Amino acid sequence: MKISKLSKNISLKRELESGNEEQLKTVRQVLADVRENGDQAVRKYTEMWDGIVLSDLRVTEEEINEALQHFDPQLKQDLEEAANNIRNYHEAQKRNGYTLPLTDGSYLAQRIVPLDSVGLYVPGGSAAYPSSVLMNVIPAQVAGVKRIVITSPCGKDGKLPPAVLVSANILGVNEIYKIGGAQAIAALAYGTESIAPVDKITGPGNIFVALAKREVFGEVAIDMIAGPSEICIIADDSAYPDEIAADLLSQAEHDKQACAILITTSEKLAQAVSEQVENQLKQLPREEIARASIENFGHIYIAENMDQAVEAVNTLAPEHLEIVTENAEKVSEGIRHAGAIFIGRYSSEPVGDYFAGPNHVLPTNSTARFASGLNVDDFIKKTNIVYYTEQTWKENVQKIARLARMEGLEAHARAVESRGWKKGEN
Amino acid sequence: MKISKLSKNISLKRELESGNEEQLKTVRQVLADVRENGDQAVRKYTEMWDGIVLSDLRVTEEEINEALQHFDPQLKQDLEEAANNIRNYHEAQKRNGYTLPLTDGSYLAQRIVPLDSVGLYVPGGSAAYPSSVLMNVIPAQVAGVKRIVITSPCGKDGKLPPAVLVSANILGVNEIYKIGGAQAIAALAYGTESIAPVDKITGPGNIFVALAKREVFGEVAIDMIAGPSEICIIADDSAYPDEIAADLLSQAEHDKQACAILITTSEKLAQAVSEQVENQLKQLPREEIARASIENFGHIYIAENMDQAVEAVNTLAPEHLEIVTENAEKVSEGIRHAGAIFIGRYSSEPVGDYFAGPNHVLPTNSTARFASGLNVDDFIKKTNIVYYTEQTWKENVQKIARLARMEGLEAHARAVESRGWKKGEN
């Protein structure tokens, strides 16, 4: 890995693929077609792109039972324990609204209401992502969303990976569709004969899915568009180089555009980690991906002291931050911008990807400056409530009318003035 | 106003102007130019479009003092009281993070951190909008945002409206710029020699401002893109027609595309409101705007009963809902989708626009199905924290490694396994 002195000009930002004109044109056409022709269009594109003629779009009970029957019981138990941990962490995010009583029985309030329905897109392809199912569905369930739908492109055999079906089953979700791509996003946004529309769509996908989500935004809500993964590690002399290297590589194996950065006060550690990365790379099944990531976006920076390291992290605002130093908790207190923080040697980042409880859907590409990981608030909305009695109205009507007239909005002033007193009721 | 029976096919949705290709091209050019050339480009476009050669981009202390000197003390007091009410309502939205202790000293936590800096765009033109200053700045202040910037296009005299400067002064905000349009959004997003960049931009503007906000989204956060205002009123025989008409017109006067809808169980009320609207329209200074809104988007629906009225509102998901009925609070309990609810005869909607306390920046165009009004959460973000001790790691390392391998991510498994035990430390 490249090693250099830490300077002020560090950045995580990469030029991310935002789709070309032709891809966008295709996506718009698919969206319009599904909006117009429903299931028929969904089937057409599924046949065209995935090469599959589907009888049912929806996964049947038999398919779920089959997946359950052949699934490794140990893995099922692991998934159940992960689900419990994730649920516990997110339960603490539940909120009630509030009521502020004013004089005379008047009050103001905020009411919290879950979304009616959400759709989760689970990417297909070679791998199965049961952890995505847990991380997206559980906060929606904790929020109180009644209807939760999963959609994912099926394999050539017309089936979804058992791990996805088993994860959904553990959570009690059984409305699952076997479709992917822009046509799946269109079906969730607009609805078809067999799929009722949802209010929000979450979950990652390929460039067509990302473009489709951007296009339907406004019609429905969407989660953030996630970029390639990032890990930043702050470490000092107390860290073990092989562990730091392994953690850097855990994110590098995700994507050739993933970014792994070590910031350390120890030149010795820097050198040792660099060597370890090279050694471990050679033994990785996904060596090609991880190597491309490390070569293009991996970097080790030598900081003069811990304060400089912390300030650099606040500039980067990384998705994942590990702090493997003496007094790691104390160091963490200086961090203002990071999606998730893993404190101490035993909090290896994959602990959070799968199991600990906090969400693994996190802001990338420095957006942790202003964005949060997926959480229960993403599945609720708030309604403001005003209840004024006659007395409270009477005390304030003139002030309100004056403010309205200051803005040149006479009808506003007249509306608030229109109550009883002008009719001689009082 | 048109009167018809309530049916299932009601909708608030209007085709909103999303900008044409040429406008988008202009905006992209302005953004690129300001990013490249900073203040010089900002000045160029301000001269080109606003016809003003600015010496300072920033409002001076003298200008603020001058505005304060000549400002009506009664109005200043009204603004101060409104600011207090708004602050009280939003204070209740402040949150702390949480810590969940696990066994053995391990813990999970969520940390709440305010954004570092936000910029508020205040539209210019004929009117001044001090209420927008209060509604955007106060939630950011309550959240704990340290740097709050206001920008607004100045008049031909090179000055901002006194009401805007006085409102900002009441809130203690003194970083105010006299620029508007796409160049102002670019300056806030990218920064210039004289304006440091911000992390989030809020506030409404014309089509160029809206397009610029969409373009910089991702680089910085933005609030929702607000559409024309909407009011929906549920009323029964107990309501006074002149009051209902006045409230409908209070939103109709905002915009020719504003939408005013009455849903009532009383045919008598429907008829009387329709007549009242016509009578009151003739006496309004903004008659032309309000009349266009009422003619194009105004509607009175007769509902068979209150349940049907409530269900219709949940379909519409209006920005503002008034409930002027017997047992209005009870009726309000059935509402799942509305930006703000005004309960009872004395809670005329302008009460909330200016004074009561809840935010007046609310989701329009049926997005109240999934979106909330501006609130303190819009100015904070959440960081997930994992702290595992050796013991907790030891208990869970195998489960985590199995889950990682199930997803085909070997480097994840090796990272979490890399700790002490493989080195014979334990």
| CA-based nearest residue to A231, from A123, A327, A348, A331 | A348
A119 inside domain = yes
Same domain? A213 vs A231: no
Asked if B386 and A343 come within 8 Å (Cβ–Cβ), the reply is yes
Asked if B339 and A409 come within 8 Å (Cβ–Cβ), the reply is no
Q: What is the mean pLDDT of residues B18-25?
A: 84
Min CA distance, A40 vs chain B (Å)?
24
Asked if A329 and B396 come within 8 Å (Cβ–Cβ), the reply is no
Asked if A339 and B386 come within 8 Å (Cβ–Cβ), the reply is no
- A293-333 pLDDT, tens digit per residue, is 999 999 999 999 999 999 999 999 999 999 999 999 999 99
Residue of A nearest to B239 (CA): A419
Rg (CA), chain B: 26
Max CA-CA distance within chain B?
Answer: 89
Instruction: Fill in the DSSP letter of residue B60.
Output: P
Min CA distance, A51 vs chain B (Å)?
24
Check the annotation: does A360 bind a ligand.
no
Asked if A396 and B355 come within 8 Å (Cβ–Cβ), the reply is yes
Q: Is residue B281 scored above 70 in pLDDT?
A: yes
Same domain? B202 vs B239: no
A196 inside domain = yes
Q: Is residue B50 scored above 90 in pLDDT?
A: no
For residue A399, give the nearest of B78, B337, B340 by CB distance: B78
Asked if A336 and B116 come within 8 Å (Cβ–Cβ), the reply is yes
Write the DSSP string, A267-333.
HHHHHHHHHHHHHHHTT-TTHHHHHHHHHHH-EEEE-SSHHHHHHHHHHH--SEEEEESTTHHHHHT
Residue of B nearest to A408 (CA): B127
β-bridge pairing A320-324 and A340-343: parallel
Q: Which member of A63, A320, A349, A360 is catalytic? A: A320
For residue B75, give the nearest of A341, A387, A402 by CB distance: A402
B235 inside domain = yes
Q: Are B113 and A332 in contact (CB under 8 A)?
A: no
Dist CA A53 CA A67 (whole Å): 21
Tens-binned pLDDT, residue by residue, of chain A (426 aa) = 999 999 888 888 777 667 788 998 999 999 999 999 999 999 999 999 888 999 899 999 999 999 999 999 999 999 999 999 999 999 999 999 999 999 899 999 999 999 999 999 998 866 678 999 999 999 999 999 999 999 999 988 899 999 999 999 999 999 999 999 999 999 999 999 999 999 999 998 888 999 999 889 888 999 987 788 999 999 999 999 999 999 999 999 999 999 999 999 999 999 999 999 999 999 999 999 999 999 999 999 999 999 999 999 999 999 999 999 999 999 999 999 999 999 999 999 999 999 999 999 999 999 999 999 999 999 999 999 999 999 999 999 999 999 999 999 999 999 999 997 556 554
Same domain? A158 vs A216: yes
Q: What is the pLDDT of residue A426?
A: 43
Chain A residues in contact with B375 by the CB 8 A cut-off are 110, 382
> What share of chain A has pLDDT > 90, as a percent?
86
**A interface mutation test: which of B255, B416, B426 has the most A CBs within 10 A?**
B416
β-bridge pairing A380-387 and B221-222: unpaired
Distances (CA, A) of B161 to A182, A271, B45, B123, B124: 48, 60, 21, 11, 9
In the residue annotation, B333 being an active-site residue is answered as no
Instruction: Fill in the DSSP letter of residue B102.
Output: -
Q: Which residue spans within B345-415 are E strands per DSSP?
A: 380-387
| CA angle (B421, B423, B425) in 5-degree steps | 65
Last residue of a domain, one of B222, B243, B263: B222
Q: What is the mean pLDDT of residues B87-92?
A: 98
In the residue annotation, B320 being an active-site residue is answered as yes
Task: Give the range of the structural domain holding residue B408, as residue numbers without chain letter.
Answer: 388-423
Q: Which residue has the tokens 């985590």?
A: B400
Dist CA A275 CA B93 (whole Å): 50
| Chain B, window 311-370: residues with a beta carbon less than 8 angstroms from a chain A beta carbon | 329, 332, 335-359, 362-363, 365, 367-370
Dist CA B82 CA A403 (whole Å): 9
Residue of B nearest to A398 (CA): B78
A204 inside domain = yes
**A interface mutation test: which of B414, B422, B425 has the most A CBs within 10 A?**
B414
Instruction: Fill in the DSSP letter of residue A59.
Output: P
**B interface mutation test: which of A76, A276, A387 has the most B CBs within 10 A?**
A387
Dist CA B88 CA B95 (whole Å): 14
| Chain B, window 140-169: residues with a beta carbon less than 8 angstroms from a chain A beta carbon | 163
Dist CA B362 CA B321 (whole Å): 11
For residue A108, give the nearest of B78, B358, B392 by CB distance: B358
Asked if B411 and A252 come within 8 Å (Cβ–Cβ), the reply is yes
Q: Which member of B230, B243, B299, B320 is catalytic? A: B320
Last residue of a domain, one of B164, B195, B222: B222
Same domain? B187 vs B298: no
B4 inside domain = no
**What is the signed CA dihedral for B184, B185, B189, B194, rounded to 10 degrees?**
0
Chain B residues in contact with A349 by the CB 8 A cut-off are 415
The gap from C-alpha B346 to its chain's centroid, in whole angstroms, comes to: 25
Tell me if chain B has a CB within 8 Å of the CB of A199.
yes
Q: What is the ipTM of this complex?
A: 0.95
Same domain? B179 vs B313: no
Same domain? A132 vs A181: yes
Q: What is the pLDDT of residue A110?
A: 98
Min CA distance, A381 vs chain B (Å)?
5
Q: Is B91 in a helix, a strand, or coil?
A: helix
Same domain? A35 vs A118: yes
Instruction: Give B17's pLDDT tier (boundaries 50, 70, 90).
Output: low
* Conformational region of residue B297, where left means phi above 0, alpha means psi within -120 to 50, and beta covers everything else: alpha
Dist CA B224 CA B362 (whole Å): 9
Q: What is the pLDDT of residue B227?
A: 83
- B313-365 pLDDT, tens digit per residue, is 999 999 999 999 999 999 999 999 999 999 999 999 999 999 999 999 999 99
- Domain holding A32: CATH number? 3.40.50.1980
Q: What is the pLDDT of residue B423?
A: 61
Q: What is the mean pLDDT of residues B21-34?
A: 94
Q: Which residue has the tokens 């299932």?
A: B8
The gap from C-alpha A315 to its chain's centroid, in whole angstroms, comes to: 21
Counted domains in chain A: 3
The gap from C-alpha A419 to its chain's centroid, in whole angstroms, comes to: 48
Asked if A396 and B369 come within 8 Å (Cβ–Cβ), the reply is no
Q: Is residue B277 scored above 90 in pLDDT?
A: yes
A382 inside domain = no
Q: What is the pLDDT of residue B426?
A: 42
Q: Is residue B126 scored above 70 in pLDDT?
A: no
Asked if A79 and B403 come within 8 Å (Cβ–Cβ), the reply is yes
For residue B370, give the nearest of A199, A350, A400 by CB distance: A199
- Phi and psi of B330, rounded to 5°? -60, -45
Q: Are B219 and B198 in contact (CB under 8 A)?
A: no
Tell me if chain A has a CB within 8 Å of the CB of B384.
yes
Q: What is the pLDDT of residue B421?
A: 52
Q: Are A159 and A151 in contact (CB under 8 A)?
A: no
Q: Are A342 and A320 in contact (CB under 8 A)?
A: yes
Same domain? A279 vs A311: yes
Same domain? A132 vs A264: no
Same domain? B37 vs B166: yes
- B394-413 pLDDT, tens digit per residue, is 999 999 999 999 999 999 99
Residue B66: how many other CB atoms lie within 10 Å: 14
Chain A residues in contact with B350 by the CB 8 A cut-off are 400, 404, 409, 412-413, 415-416
Last residue of a domain, one of B170, B188, B222: B222
Min CA distance, B366 vs chain A (Å)?
9
Residue B99: how many other CB atoms lie within 10 Å: 13
**B interface mutation test: which of A253, A291, A386, A418 has the most B CBs within 10 A?**
A386
Residue A98: how many other CB atoms lie within 10 Å: 13
Asked if B130 and A400 come within 8 Å (Cβ–Cβ), the reply is no
Q: What is the pLDDT of residue B9?
A: 81
B88 inside domain = yes
Instruction: Give B19's pLDDT tier (boundaries 50, 70, 90).
Output: confident
Dist CA B238 CA B245 (whole Å): 14
Q: What is the pLDDT of residue B287?
A: 96
Q: What is the pLDDT of residue A126?
A: 63
Check the annotation: does A384 bind a ligand.
no
β-bridge pairing B340-343 and B320-324: parallel
Same domain? B183 vs B309: no
Dist CA B396 CA B419 (whole Å): 12
Same domain? A155 vs A79: yes
Min CA distance, A166 vs chain B (Å)?
13
B377 inside domain = no
